[in-house]
């Protein structure tokens, strides 16, 4: 697992890179409704094990939560299940709101 900052993720998403990552938001539904990074896939942490087959193990996957703790746990879980390109968004959506999108609501 790698750590990825909000600014690094923003640069990746804005780049002309041919393969964009899956933005796996593992927060609860109410958190996702409050704010999320555009294009994120909502999959609450407690559902990841049951929905593992919905994800591709070889595709770059960025795990996202509020501050980066839950997403780190999910990223480690994914690695244990054969995912090879997993990153954790350091600081989560809170860092994204502070560093990339100041219009994003925070909580």
Task: List, by residue number, the catalytic residues.
Answer: 65
Query: What is the distance between the alpha carbons of residues 91 and 84, in angstroms, rounded to a whole number?
Result: 22
Distance, CA of 94 to CA of 99 (rounded, Å): 9
Provide the CA 103 distance to its chain's centre, in angstroms.
19
Q: Is 21 left (phi over 0), alpha (psi -120 to 50) or beta?
A: beta
89's tokens: 């968004």
């Amino acid at each position: 697992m790698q750590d990825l900052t909000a600014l690094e993720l923003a640069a990746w998403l804005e780049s002309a890179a041919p393969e964009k990552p899956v933005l796996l938001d593992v927060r609860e539904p109410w958190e996702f409704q409050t704010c999320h990074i555009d294009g994120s896939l909502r999959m609450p942490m407690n559902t990841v094990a049951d929905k593992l087959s919905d994800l591709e193990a070889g595709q770059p996957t960025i795990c996202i939560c509020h501050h980066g703790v839950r997403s780190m746990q999910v990223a480690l879980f994914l690695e244990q299940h054969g995912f090879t390109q997993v990153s954790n968004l350091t600081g989560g959506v809170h860092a994204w709101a502070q560093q990339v999108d100041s219009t994003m609501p925070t909580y």
